[in-house]
Structure 1
Amino acid sequence: MTTSLLLTVRPLDGNHTEILVAGELVTTTSQTLRDQAKAEIDGGCTRLVLDMSGVSFCDSSGLSAVIDVWLQTRAVGGSLALTGVPDRLGRLLRIANTDTLIEISYASDDGPPPTAPRAVESP
């Protein structure tokens, strides 16, 4: 099975760049996001926006890549925002408490999706 990730870079002004992320953000593709973000930051970007509306699947490696990008932007005094976050990815970000670190706007207007229900044992 082949997985693919397409990144489209849109410079918005001198230090503000948007990267449109489309496809699967998984073990075999997550380094591509890290590398592109590093290239943008090395080029002077301090405000990075990842448009996640095209992400069809994200595993723990993809989540790790997003956190790494956040760390890269913070290291230069910058910031990271995620836009167009689909519900499934939003749940993953909330479970990992990433939504407390990174500015996130969700694809739906209803705000963040609820976290998955947890089983509770009765006494």
Structure 2
Amino acid sequence: MTDFRLTTQHTDGDLALAHIAGELDIDTAPHLRAQALALIEQGHRHLILDLGAVTFCDSSGFNALVGIFRCARAADGTLVLAAVPDRLERLLDLTGLSALLPAHPTAAHALVAHTRSQDPATA
């Protein structure tokens, strides 16, 4: 298996922030999907995936993100991306998925946006 790591950095109620590092490809995409779905099953239906350390993403990795998005949505949750690499950001734009998968420049920005979206006074 190529270099891949998912590290859960933050969990708070129904939110989890995970940092992804390495390559997202045919070998690692199933691990990404399984680990992300495990977070959803543990009650963290809102996921923020920090992709800043992703060095490569092929169609398998892209499809894993789509699958995670669908599972989060089925759990009445969300998938938000942070620090998306340029090539993956272009692919999200070309496929129209950038409209469904919000992206933020950093994980900190994504956390602030999530907090604001959950606050009835600011929503």
Per the shorter chain, which TM-score range? 0.7 to 0.9
Structure number, greater radius of gyration: 1
Contact 1:18/1:49 (8 A) holds in 2: yes
Partner residue in 1 for 2:91: 92
Structure 1 gaps of 5+ residues are 108-123
Partner residue in 2 for 1:66: 65
After TM superposition, the structure 1 = structure 2 runs for residues 41-52 of structure 1, keeping only pairs within 5 Å, are 41-52=40-51
1:78-99 C-alpha deviation (Å, 9 max, x unpaired):
0010001111111111112110
Note the aligned Cα RMSD (angstroms): 1.2
Partner Cα separation in structure 2 for residue 49 and residue 86 of structure 1: 15
Letter aligned with residue 60 of structure 1: S
Aligned length: 106
- Larger fraction in helix: 2
Q: Does 1:21 align with 2:20?
A: yes
Partner Cα separation in structure 2 for residue 3 and residue 106 of structure 1: 26
After TM superposition, the structure 1 = structure 2 runs for residues 76-115 of structure 1, keeping only pairs within 5 Å, are 76-106=75-105
Structure 2 gaps of 5+ residues are 107-123
Alpha-carbon shift at residue 54 of structure 1 (Å): 0.5
Alpha-carbon shift at residue 103 of structure 1 (Å): 0.9
Alpha-carbon shift at residue 100 of structure 1 (Å): 1.2
SS of the residue aligned with 2:16? strand
Contact 2:11/2:44 (8 A) holds in 1: no
Letter aligned with residue 51 of structure 1: D
SS of the residue aligned with 1:85? coil
Identity %: 40
Contact 2:24/2:57 (8 A) holds in 1: yes
